[in-house]
Structure formats: structure tokens, C-alpha cells
């Protein structure tokens, strides 16, 4: 695990040090098992020093059962039978043993042999474990047996203390050393009672039980050379007490053959063989206590402190640097003033609703530490980090104290490294504690690395900040363990950009992993989203309101999505840079990617293995006609109804070069719409010389559309000799036609998708691209059936938009809104009008926005909806955090949100921002699709001659080819371009290629004759 603990306890004059981590389900019957504990024993930080007072630490309760087993003569203690000797009353003896042990635990005394002593209350207690509904448990956790049972009634829920006479010199035995196992033996207690005629031998039984539990927690004997505490605060020479020897050096001091006089020594240490055992050193106590607290076996419960509290505030003064390297209990807010630095490097307990407040110019460093709640029933508050919305954030440097800042009137900063935060409310809040709605104080900096966030209500809240945000999360865990809290969530972002996420894990969260409105983020490498309701949630409230969202990147470690309801869901996207989903892996989600409303996006080179309750892998709903929208070079297998579903107007979308496996119920691609909003894709899928070239799962289930509610489109396929046999030419029902064209580049997916245009660009370049687009458009209008001229126009339009968007984003990012308006001035049409309105809103020119709103066309229902939404946006943004929807506004937005308009996504985003409303994709009725005459492709001789299988494969692929063909070359190339394998095929007609050493992935397989490709295929290798 990543996190180490740091705690700050302030209680009178005492500072306490401790290492602790656990989950948040406490109590006798609600303690999580070890596998649910987010930390391991190795994560305990070495932050103990000068322990003066442990009285504020939570009590660790060890649930015990005592088992009296008959000896060889059939005798043992009796269960308090009237008339039987009190001397052998087992119920009384077990209870007295438990009470005496608790007396010792509550008051450790000094030992004359120790270098240092732990004094006072250890915060460890024994209690009997019993379940009232267990009718066999007659004596509340005290049991009587004829012979030792093979298993015990409560399993690992209780530490089982087995009392049996063995006639041995050993008083007891632990089940293991440092394993936190769940039983121990006490020997000859009954016989000693009979021999001595003394009932008070429960005193010895108490000490022996505590001693053996010490071994279970990892303590060796006090005279052992190799114990962790030897030479720290244990004097092993005095503990050994044997001339010629200073300590035992093996077996943890078990059965000493050197320290033979330890039995008679002056030590009082609990882990010695000495008569009096009432002492521990601080090092021993730390190991004993933290093993139980931190390891949290099932037989341990934690009693938390739920007040009352002093509410005493703590202040870190301007110009000072303070380190908390011991345990602290905080009962009031901690304020870190401007120019002050607080470093936490141990464990801090936070009382309910207490907060850290990092002022502008202040810095909080949490390094090898833990911050957790003091009361398990109530979360602590959070960490409020003031920002400065007009200044650049400081660099996230943990080593530079805030006192060295040349200007302390800048954003506060929190740096968290190798640490954990548990049980908070909203952990990071990037605004002012005293004036949360003052936007000038938004924009605090958060940097977290190698850290964990466990069982928090929400981990981080980023408020609007117009400059690049330097906040980062690297190799962090965001998780709710079990079902500890309701409404757990990851990170929410409002109108920030450039926040970066690398190698993080979001797991078992009730709401979302990353969520926000009008934001941008770099979610590029190695992040995982598992069992989260919504992995990445994207909302946009008006055109141009947000920034680029990059999910995955070519050449990076793929992001991993599995078992989510929605892995990625977007209500519109940024229209300048868009949503990029590259090189990710999706498994078992109900919906992997859902994009609703006008959007710019590319979904490329991802792998989808969708089993279970999925309906689609990718769904695009009303994303409009933005050129460049693409779903390309993805691999799909084991999907349910369909792989890709396009609903209503997606007339800018092309679906190309994808590989579909396992025929679905309906189709690899499904297009649908309604009578009032027809289903549309780009009119030509692919182009002459560049066919769409999807490899479908079958001919008859390739594409499903309906004549009634969709517009016709043309689907280009490679000519028969170029079309691999696994890439079927579609013949399935639908309102589309198929044309065969030459494929000039069969390796479309090997490119990096960077395009031919490289910024920076100029206004002159934009004007050139506008003229080229106009020329291409006129040529197409003059010859509307010419597919090549249509493709030329779309390419010219795409290139113009690339230049336009880059220039606009550059101007907007630097707040050059006048320059942005100049760039937009040359753009005609409704889209440009909507963008000009969005630009006014970004510039906070609400008078200009109102004027732009009045100039918008409002003839259609959709145009009226858009104008209404933007009117609400103007009111909202003018009020700056103090806006509340009226009842009529809410009702109207709800009407729009449930309409078929492509602008409904803006209404949905507003309702989510202001009311927390969530919306699901529209239900689609999968009625019988109208049959139409299927397209009949010409027979492909290649398909009859060549076969490559199985696909996917993990051990080998078999290649069949005409045996009479000579001089054939087999070429296998990874789609990444990082691997190539070429061999010459013999004349046998078949060849088996061993793939066990191949890296898993997608490979292009070519068979060449006379340097010409005669067969092309794609195959997936898995291991």
C-alpha cells in the first residue's frame, strides 16, 4: 500500500505517537476481515517518540472465548455448578482472569531492567465474545469440552484460549509469531489450582494470556537478541540475567538454553520468564497495540471517541514551519496561515467536523502519514485550500517552505505523499472556509502521490479556476471498503483544466470516479475504474464552456474500466478540442461509452470485452454534424445486443477500421431514430480510396438500420480481392448501400492519429483553409453524386476546423477574448452564432451575451430550447454562485432534458450542476426492422482460398492457403508497429504459427505474392 500514518493529538501537555489504519465498520459483529483492510503491517510508520500519554487513543477490544478441556483423568473446571467447589468454578476463574488482565492492561508499571518504560493505560482490553442467538453458548463465551474440538464455535471472531492440563513445564503456547492467528493455550491451570489450593491463580493465567497474545502480535521474549526492540529500549543483558550470556540469538528466545537464569531475574517485563510481568517498553507497546489496531484481525474491535470535544483551535503562524512527527488528536480547526508550513509525518485523529484550513500562501505537507476520523460514527470535516483565481498556482514542491515564497498572496497548497486519508466528509475543498462562495478565493492546489483515500464522502472538489491547474493525482487509491458509507465519490471538477491523473485506482464508489462540469482533464495513463457507478462523468453547460478531456493516449499504459454501470458518460463535450478516448480497455460495463448532445470526439484503438448485462459498448445520441467525429480502430468482442449504437442525428460521425467479433443479437453497428429526428451517420462511411473497412462479425449482422426512421448512407468496402475473408461485406437489413472501392492504405490503424496539420497556425492559414473549403464545397455541389468530391469537401472542412479550433482555444486559454471574437467573425452559420454566445459567457460579458442571444434564430423547437437554456445560463453566471432555479425554470429545463433535442445535454448539465439530477439514456424499442433486399457482393476468390484461425488465439494460428501457390510470404505485424515477423510459406497448403511468445494484442497478417498483398486479415492474440 501507499500510505503511512501521521496523527496529531493535543491533550493537555501530552503528545502521542501512533500508527493506525483500519476500515470504518466497527463493533463486535461488524469488523472487516483482513483482506478488506486497506493497509498492511508494513505500512506502519516509524513515528513513535517520547510517548507521554496514550489515554486519548482508541481502545482495542480483543474478543475472547475460554475453553476448558478435560485432562487425561476426565477432569477440568466446572461451569459454576451449585454445591461444587468455588476453587474450580470455571465461569468465575475465566471472568477473574479477564478482569485481572484488563487491570494489568490499564496500568503498566516500570521495570528496573528497561532502558525506557511504557507507563499507564495500554488501551487494550479483553471482553468475552458471545452471540445471543447461539443456543449452544450457555455461559457467554466460556465453554466446557470433553476433548478439544477440531473447530471452535465462533471461528476467527474470537481469540480462543484453550485451557488444558498437559503436565508440561511450559505455561502457555501461542498459535504463531506475528501472524495475528486466533488461538493460544494455557497449560495446567486446573492442576495448579488443585496442587496449591489457591483460587487466585487467575493472576498467572492473566499474565500468561497477555504474554502469548504478545507473541501473536509479533513480540519475541524480552531476552531475545533479534527482537525489534532489542537495544532500542530493552536491555537484553539484564533480561537474560545469566553470567556469560547477554541474550538468546535464535527462535525468538523460545525455551532458552543460554538465558537459563531469566526465570530469577530482576525484570518485570511482560515478555520475560520472570515472576512479575507488569511492564512493557514503549517499543514493545507500540508493536503490541498497532499490530492489533493496524492488522485488525476479526477478533478485534475498535472503540472510537465520539466526544464531547474541546473544540480548541490550532494555528500555524505566518512565517513558521512546524512538523508533527507524533500522534495528534485534533478537536478544533487547524489554520495554516500565509507563509506558514505544516508537515505531518505520523498520525492525526480528527474529531467530527474539524478541518484543516490552508490560507493563501500557506502549505500543508502530508508525508508518510495518516489522517483519520476520531469518531467512527461521524466523519471529520475536510481540508480547505484557498486559491487565487487571478494568479498562477505555486509549484507542487514539498521541500520548499511557504515562508520562502516571494509572494504569499497566491494559492494555498496541499502536498500529500505516501499517506492515507480515511473517513473524511469532503476531503479537499479548493475554496475559502470562511467565504466559500467568493470566487476570488477559488483555485487551491492539490498534489497527491502514492497515497490512499479510504471511505471518504468525496475526495476532492475543484472550483472554477481559469488558469492551467497544476493539481495532480499519481498512483493513488480512491476506494470505499465494503459498504462503509453511503454516497462515496471520487473527484468533482468545476470549470478547471489540465488536472492530471496517472496510475490511479477508483474502486467501489457509489457515485463516480471523476466527475464535473465545464472541465478539462488528462486521464492519460494507467488509471483503473472498477465497480463505480459512473467512472468518468462529463457535463457541459454551454458551447465552448469546457476544455479537452483526454482519456488514454497512444503509447501509454491503457486505462482500465471494468464492472461499472457507465465507464464514460458525456453530456456534450468541449467543441474546440473535444473528448479523446484512446488506447483503453473496457470490460463488463452496462455501457462503456455514452455521448449525448452536440459533441466533438474521437474513440480510437480501444479494446472492448463486454459480457453480462451490457446493451452496447458505445452509444452516440444526437452528437450532430461536427467533422472529425470518429469511432475507429477499436476491437470488440462478447457484446450483447450491439457494439456501436447511433441514435438520431450523428451526421458528423464516421465508423471505420473496427474489428467486431462474436455476432450480437442485433448488429455490430445499429442506427436508429424517430419519426421527428431521423437516425443519421455521415452520408458516406469512408471514401473512395479509403473505405470504412470494418471487420464485421458476420455478413448478416453487420449493420442494422430502419428505412422508417433513418436516412440513407453509403458504406464503402475494399474491393473483393483486398477484403479479408473475416472482414465480411455487410448484407444485413438496413437503409444503406454498399460500394466497393480501392483501398490505398490497408494499414489505417498503424498511424498515430496525429493528422497532417501541425500547429502553431496563423489567421492567414485559417483564411486559406476557409477558401479551400469553399472551393471544395462548390465542386461537390456541382457533382453531388461524386463520392470523391464529397470526401474532399469533408477533408477541407476538417482541416479548416483544426486550424480554427487551435486558434480559438489558444486565444481563450490566454483570456484574449477580443482576439477570439475576431477569429470567429469570419465563421458563418448557426454553429458560429452559438459559439459567439458561448464566447461572451466565457468573457463574463453578460450584456454582450444577451445581445448575442437575441440574434439567435428561434424558428424551430430545438432553437427555442437552446435560447431558453442560454438565458438561464446568463442569469446563473451573473449571480456567481448565488443562483437558484425557479420552479418554472426547473420544469422547463426538465422538459428539454427529456426531449429529443441535441441541446438537451446542456439542460441536463445545468440540472446536474444545480440540482444533482442524473439522467439515463433513452430507452430504445427494438422492434422488428423492416426487411430490405440485402446487398449481394461479388464472389471473392480470396475468401475461398485463404483462411486464418482461430481468432482470437493464445497458442497458435493456423494458416490455410492454396497448395499450388508458390513463393508466398507470410508477414505478421503488430498494430502498434513494434513487432514484425516474416517467413516464406512452403507448398503444403497449411502452416501453424506458434504465438505463445507474442505479446498480447492485435496483429495485421498479410500473405504476399510477387510483393503484392493477396490476403489481408486481423487477428487478436491473448494469453
Task: State residue 346 phi and psi, 5-degree precision.
Answer: -145, -120
Residue 136 CB-density burial (10 A; 0-12 exposed, 13-18 middle, 19+ buried): exposed
pLDDT surpasses 70 at 966: no
Nearest to 147 by CA among 68, 219, 79, 84: 68
Q: What's the whole-number mean pLDDT along residues 229-244? A: 92
Quote the pTM value: 0.78
The answer to whether the beta carbons of residues 528 and 567 sit under 8 Å apart is no
Q: Which residues contact 736 (CB under 8 A, 6 or more apart)?
A: 703, 705, 712, 713, 714, 715
CB-side neighbour CA atoms (13 Å) of 463: 23
For residue 203, CA distances in Å to 190, 264, 274 come to 13, 19, 14
Cis peptide bond prior to 459, omega within 30° of 0: no
Classify domain 946-1021 at the CATH class level: mainly beta
938 pLDDT band, cuts 50/70/90, is very low
Q: Determine what percent of the chain is predicted with pLDDT higher than 90.
A: 61
- Give the start-to-end residue ranges of the domains of the chain: 1-57+310-479, 59-303, 502-746+905-935, 763-904, 946-1021
pLDDT surpasses 70 at 62: yes
Which segments of 47-127 does DSSP mark as H helices, in order?
90-105
pLDDT surpasses 60 at 944: no
Cα–Cα dist 357/963, whole Å: 78
Q: Which residues contact 229 (CB under 8 A, 6 or more apart)?
A: 219, 281, 283, 284, 287
Q: Concatenated DSSP letters for 293-309?
A: HHH--TTEEEE------
Which segments of 370-526 does DSSP mark as H helices, in order?
none
207 pLDDT band, cuts 50/70/90, is very high
The answer to whether the beta carbons of residues 152 and 175 sit under 8 Å apart is no
The answer to whether the beta carbons of residues 134 and 38 sit under 8 Å apart is no
Nearest to 423 by CA among 487, 478, 350, 373: 373
Q: Count CB neighbours of 35 within 10 A.
A: 6
Residue 399 DSSP one-character state: T
Distance, C-alpha 727 to centroid of its chain: 37
Q: Tell me, which fold does domain 59-303 have in CATH?
A: Collagenase (Catalytic Domain) (3.40.390)
Residue 408 CB-density burial (10 A; 0-12 exposed, 13-18 middle, 19+ buried): buried
pLDDT digits (tens, 9 = 90+) for 660-682: 987 777 789 999 999 899 999 99
pLDDT digits (tens, 9 = 90+) for 308-363: 888 999 999 999 999 998 888 899 999 999 999 999 998 898 999 999 999 999 99
Angle at 27 between CA 24 and CA 29, to 5 degrees: 110
Residue 570 parent element (H or E): strand 566-571
Nearest to 276 by CA among 112, 129, 501, 151: 112
Q: Concatenated DSSP letters for 204-269?
A: HHHHHHHHHHHHHTT---TTBTTSTTBTTTB-HHHHH-BTTBS-B-SGGG-S-SS-TTGGGSS--B
- Left if phi > 0, otherwise alpha if psi is -120 to 50, otherwise beta: which for 927? beta
Q: Count CB neighbours of 996 within 10 A.
A: 10
The answer to whether the beta carbons of residues 429 and 378 sit under 8 Å apart is no
Q: Is 104 helix (H, G, I), strand (E, B) or coil?
A: helix
Q: What's the whole-number mean pLDDT along residues 944-962? A: 75
The answer to whether the beta carbons of residues 434 and 313 sit under 8 Å apart is no
CA dihedral 471, 474, 479, 481 (to 10 degrees): -140
The answer to whether the beta carbons of residues 575 and 600 sit under 8 Å apart is yes
Instruction: Work out whether the CA dihedral 86, 88, 89, 95 comes out positive or negative.
Output: positive
pLDDT digits (tens, 9 = 90+) for 263-303: 999 999 999 999 899 999 999 998 999 899 878 899 999 87
pLDDT surpasses 70 at 141: yes
pLDDT surpasses 70 at 29: no
Nearest to 68 by CA among 205, 189, 202, 212: 189
- Same fold for the pair 59-303 and 946-1021: no
Amino acid at each position: 500500500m501507499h500510505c503511512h500514518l501521521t496523527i496529531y493529538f493535543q491533550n493537555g501537555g501530552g503528545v502521542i505517537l501512533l500508527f493506525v489504519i483500519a476500515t470504518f465498520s466497527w463493533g463486535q459483529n461488524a469488523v472487516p476481515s483482513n483482506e478488506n483492510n486497506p493497509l498492511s503491517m508494513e505500512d506502519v510508520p516509524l513515528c513513535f517518540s517520547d510517548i507521554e500519554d496514550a489515554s486519548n487513543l482508541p481502545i482495542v477490544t480483543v474478543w475472547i472465548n475460554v475453553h476448558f478441556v478435560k485432562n487425561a483423568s476426565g477432569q477440568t473446571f466446572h461451569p459454576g455448578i451449585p454445591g461444587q467447589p468455588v476453587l474450580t468454578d470455571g465461569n468465575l476463574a475465566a471472568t477473574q482472569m479477564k478482569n485481572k488482565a484488563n487491570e494489568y492492561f490499564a496500568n503498566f508499571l516500570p521495570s528496573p531492567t528497561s532502558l525506557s518504560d511504557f507507563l499507564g493505560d495500554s488501551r487494550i482490553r479483553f471482553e468475552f465474545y458471545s452471540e445471543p442467538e447461539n443456543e449452544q453458548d450457555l455461559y457467554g463465551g466460556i465453554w466446557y469440552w470433553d476433548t478439544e474440538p477440531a473447530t471452535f464455535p465462533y471461528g476467527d471472531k474470537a481469540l480462543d484460549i484453550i485451557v488444558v492440563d498437559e503436565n508440561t513445564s511450559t505455561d502457555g503456547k501461542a498459535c504463531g509469531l506475528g501472524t495475528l492467528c486466533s488461538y493460544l493455550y494455557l497449560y495446567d491451570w486446573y492442576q495448579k489450582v488443585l496442587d496449591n489450593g489457591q483460587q487466585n491463580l487467575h493472576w498467572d493465567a492473566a499474565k500468561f494470556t497477555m504474554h502469548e497474545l504478545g507473541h501473536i502480535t509479533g513480540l519475541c521474549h524480552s531476552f531475545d537478541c533479534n527482537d525489534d526492540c532489542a537495544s532500542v529500549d530493552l536491555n537484553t543483558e539484564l533480561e537474560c540475567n545469566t553470567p556469560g550470556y547477554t541474550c538468546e540469538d535464535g527462535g525468538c528466545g523460545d525455551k532458552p538454553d543460554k538465558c537459563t537464569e531469566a526465570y530469577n531475574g530482576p525484570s518485570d517485563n511482560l515478555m520475560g520468564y520472570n515472576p512479575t510481568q507488569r511492564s512493557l517498553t514503549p517499543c514493545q507497546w507500540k508493536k503490541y497495540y498497532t499490530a492489533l489496531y493496524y492488522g485488525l484481525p476479526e477478533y478485534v474491535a475498535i472503540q472510537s471517541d465520539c466526544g464531547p470535544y474541546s473544540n480548541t483551535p490550532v494555528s500555524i503562524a505566518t512565517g513558521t514551519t512546524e512538523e508533527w512527527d507524533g500522534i495528534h488528536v485534533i478537536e478544533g480547526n487547524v489554520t495554516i496561515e500565509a507563509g506558514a508550513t505544516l508537515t505531518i509525518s505520523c498520525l492525526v485523529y480528527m474529531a467530527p467536523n474539524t478541518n484543516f484550513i490552508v490560507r493563501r500562501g500557506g502549505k500543508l505537507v502530508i508525508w508518510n502519514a495518516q489522517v483519520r476520523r476520531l469518531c467512527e460514527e461521524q466523519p471529520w470535516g475536510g481540508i480547505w485550500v484557498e486559491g487565487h483565481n487571478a494568479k498562477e498556482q505555486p509549484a507542487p514542491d514539498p521541500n520548499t517552505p511557504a515562508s520562502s515564497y516571494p509572494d504569499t498572496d497566491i494559492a494555498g497548497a496541499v502536498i500529500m505523499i505516501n499517506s492515507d486519508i480515511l473517513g473524511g466528509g469532503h476531503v479537499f475543498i479548493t475554496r475559502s472556509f470562511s467565504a466559500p462562495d467568493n470566487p476570488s478565493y477559488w483555485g487551491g492546489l492539490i498534489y497527491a502521490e502514492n497515497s490512499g483515500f479510504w471511505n471518504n464522502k468525496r475526495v476532492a472538489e475543484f472550483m472554477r479556476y481559469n488558469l492551467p491547474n497544476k493539481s495532480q493525482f499519481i498512483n493513488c487509491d480512491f476506494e470505499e471498503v465494503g459498504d462503509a458509507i453511503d454516497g462515496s465519490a471520487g473527484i468533482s471538477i468545476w470549470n478547471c483544466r489540465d488536472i492530471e491523473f496517472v496510475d490511479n485506482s477508483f474502486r467501489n464508489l457509489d457515485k463516480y470516479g471523476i466527475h464535473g462540469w465545464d472541465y478539462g482533464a488528462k486521464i492519460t495513463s494507467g488509471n483503473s475504474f472498477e465497480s463505480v457507478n459512473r467512472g468518468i462523468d462529463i457535463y457541459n453547460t454551454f458551447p465552448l464552456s469546457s476544455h479537452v478531456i483526454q482519456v488514454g493516449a497512444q503509447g501509454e499504459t491503457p486505462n482500465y474500466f471494468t464492472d461499472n454501470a457507465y465507464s464514460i458518460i458525456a453530456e456534450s463535450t468541449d467543441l474546440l478540442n473535444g473528448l479523446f478516448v484512446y488506447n483503453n480497455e473496457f470490460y463488463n460495463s452496462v455501457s462503456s461509452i455514452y455521448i449525448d448532445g452536440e459533441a466533438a470526439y474521437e474513440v480510437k484503438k480501444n479494446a472492448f470485452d463486454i459480457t453480462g448485462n451490457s446493451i452496447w459498448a458505445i452509444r452516440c445520441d444526437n452528437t450532430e454534424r461536427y467533422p472529425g467525429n470518429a469511432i475507429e480502430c477499436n476491437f470488440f468482442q462478447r457484446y450483447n445486443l450491439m457494439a456501436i449504437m447511433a441514435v438520431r442525428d450523428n451526421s458528423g460521425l464516421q465508423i471505420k477500421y473496427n474489428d467486431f467479433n462474436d455476432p450480437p443479437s442485433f448488429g455490430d453497428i445499429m442506427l436508429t431514430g424517430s419519426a421527428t429526428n431521423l437516425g443519421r451517420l455521415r452520408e458516406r462511411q469512408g471514401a473512395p480510396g479509403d473505405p470504412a473497412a470494418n471487420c464485421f462479425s458476420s455478413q448478416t449482422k453487420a449493420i442494422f438500420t430502419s428505412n422508417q426512421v433513418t436516412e440513407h448512407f453509403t458504406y464503402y468496402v475494399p474491393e473483393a480481392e483486398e477484403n479479408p475473408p473475416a472482414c465480411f461485406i455487410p448484407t444485413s437489413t438496413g437503409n444503406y448501400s454498399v460500394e466497393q472501392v480501392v483501398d490505398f492504405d490497408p494499414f489505417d490503424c498503424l498511424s498515430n492519429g496525429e493528422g497532417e496539420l501541425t500547429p502553431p497556425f496563423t489567421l492567414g492559414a485559417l483564411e486559406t483553409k476557409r477558401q479551400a473549403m469553399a472551393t471544395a464545397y462548390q465542386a461537390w455541389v456541382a457533382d453531388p453524386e461524386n463520392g470523391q468530391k464529397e470526401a474532399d469537401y469533408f477533408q477541407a472542412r476538417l482541416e479548416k476546423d483544426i486550424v480554427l479550433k487551435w486558434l480559438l482555444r489558444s486565444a481563450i486559454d490566454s483570456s484574449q477574448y477580443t482576439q477570439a471574437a475576431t477569429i470567429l467573425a469570419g465563421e458563418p452559420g448557426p454553429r458560429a452564432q452559438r459559439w459567439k454566445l458561448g464566447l461572451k459567457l466565457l468573457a463574463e460579458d453578460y450584456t454582450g451575451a444577451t445581445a448575442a442571444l437575441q440574434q439567435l434564430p428561434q424558428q424551430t423547437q430545438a432553437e427555442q430550447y437552446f435560447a431558453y437554456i442560454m438565458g438561464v445560463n446568463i442569469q446563473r453566471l451573473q449571480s456567481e454562485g448565488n443562483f437558484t432555479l425557479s420552479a418554472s425554470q426547473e420544469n422547463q429545463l426538465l422538459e428539454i432534458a427529456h426531449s429529443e433535442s441535441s441541446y438537451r445535454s446542456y439542460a441536463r448539465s445545468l440540472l446536474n450542476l444545480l440540482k444533482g439530477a442524473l439522467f439515463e439514456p433513452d430507452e430504445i424499442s427494438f422492434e422488428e426492422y423492416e426487411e430490405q433486399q440485402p446487398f449481394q457482393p461479388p464472389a471473392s476468390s480470396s475468401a475461398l482460398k485463404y483462411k486464418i484461425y482461430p481468432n482470437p488465439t493464445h497458442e497458435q494460428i493456423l494458416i490455410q492457403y492454396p497448395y499450388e501457390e508458390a513463393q508466398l510470404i507470410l508477414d505478421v505485424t503488430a498494430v502498434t508497429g513494434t513487432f514484425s515477423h516474416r517467413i516464406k510459406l512452403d507448398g503444403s497448403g497449411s502452416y501453424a504459427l506458434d504465438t505463445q511468445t507474442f505479446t498480447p494484442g492485435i496483429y495485421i497478417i498479410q500473405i504476399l505474392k510477387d510483393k503484392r498483398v493477396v490476403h489481408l486479415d486481423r487477428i487478436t492474440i491473448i494469453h
